[in-house]
Amino acid sequence: MQVLYFGTYDRAYPRNAQVISALRAAGVDVIEQHRPVWERRHNWKVGVRQMIQVARAERSLRHTGAVGSDADALIVGYPGHFDLPAAKRVARGRPVIFNPLVSLHDTIVSDRGRFRQGSTAAGIVRLVDRRAFRRADVVVADTDAHARFFCEEFGLPEDRVNVCFVGAEDRLFRPGWQPERSFHALFVGKLIPLHGLETILQAAVLAPEIAFRVVGSGQLEPLLATRPANVAWVPWVEYESLPAELQSSGCALGVFGTGAKAARVIPNKAFQALACGAPLVTADTPAARELLTDGQDAVLVPPGDPRSLAQAVRRLASDPAERARIAAAGRRTYEERADEATLGLRWRHVIERAIAAA
């Protein structure tokens, strides 16, 4: 089987890198037809210059020549919402599988507030969303909760939406957590509303004896200007250094936002923590429950509840045996349901079904 991974997707973003790696491990020949637009710490600041870049990339992508001419299917990578028209032309009847990860409107309007709800800009974003999701032959969501949202939001039949967890890149995120090291609670990620940075900082105030470490920058960065003394902040580390950060942590923090989107996703950081064998603390949401069980392979706390988060982190800090037990169980869950071998076979099955239906 040969697949053309197509579009202006961010090649470095974990969802794309992991899917390509997992497919190749599953015996799929993946070739890429890519035009860079969204790289350099993708932050959804969509402006005129970026739209011009997208338009130029689209014109170029429509003339792929011999690249991908033997492919059995096309996958439009994340963020590829603007790429579906070009992908359909290039496909010439072959199935086009959309790997969107998110809805643009849900992300940059509802969650991050880049455009005002009901504004002309927000309306254009919604139109791009709808066009992309409806033109795809198959949409692959990251959770069942997100799949239901896509079906409801864009009027998609359930049989056109499949689910494959995000997972992590096995070449980087490997077991290596060391429970005997000094304890600190680690958060890694973009500082966006979804992640619940406010909840983490408030939990740190409630547990002043616990060290917290925040790695990342972004929209909510100003909140760190008045962070408590037990919170260390590092604006950025190289992606290849993230496994070492996770392996040296006392526990890893997932997301704690209270928005609707936060309830539908299991973020990269959660899978990366599980892959490294670090104990994970994250919000108790419908999406998290698709993979995790509270007290077994993770600690789940109510979203937006700093007191519960502080209690959970304090409990793990005081009980090395408990955090080692949860860490080991989390790694087993990852191996059984979300490692590259498992997800590669899942993605291959999705593609095979799309080809058979074309």
Residue with token string 């990860």: 101
Taking the model in full, what pTM does it have?
Answer: 0.89
Task: Reduce the secondary structure of 53-71 to three states and give it as a string.
Answer: HHHHHHHHHCCCCCCCCCC
Nearest by Cα to 78 from 44, 47, 101, 50: 101
Task: Round to whole Å and give the CA distance between 80 and 183.
Answer: 40
- Please state the separation of Cα 336 from the chain's center in Å: 19
Q: How confident is the model over 254-266, as a mean pLDDT?
A: 94
Q: Which of 62-71, 232-241, 273-282, 345-354 has the lowest mean pLDDT?
A: 62-71
Q: Is residue 305 a contact partner of residue 281, using CB atoms and an 8 Å limit?
A: no
Q: Strands, DSSP E only, in 254-324?
A: 280-283, 299-301
What's the Cα-to-Cα distance from 347 to each of 30, 139, 142, 163, 189, rounded to whole Å? 12, 12, 11, 9, 26
Q: Is the pLDDT confidence value at 43 over 50? A: no
Cβ-proximal residues to 312 (8 Å cutoff; 6+ apart), any chain: 281, 299, 301
b (16+ CB within 10 A) / e for 256-274: bbbbebbbbbbbbbbbbbb
Q: How confident is the model over 191-212, as a mean pLDDT?
A: 95
Task: Round to whole Å and give the CA distance between 132 and 134.
Answer: 6
* pLDDT of the residue at 120: 82
User: Please, what is the Cα angle at 343 between 338 and 346, to 5 degrees?
Assistant: 130
Domains of the chain in start order, with CATH, are 2-167+339-357 (3.40.50.2000), 185-337 (3.40.50.2000)
- CA torsion 21-25-28-34 (nearest 10°) is 10
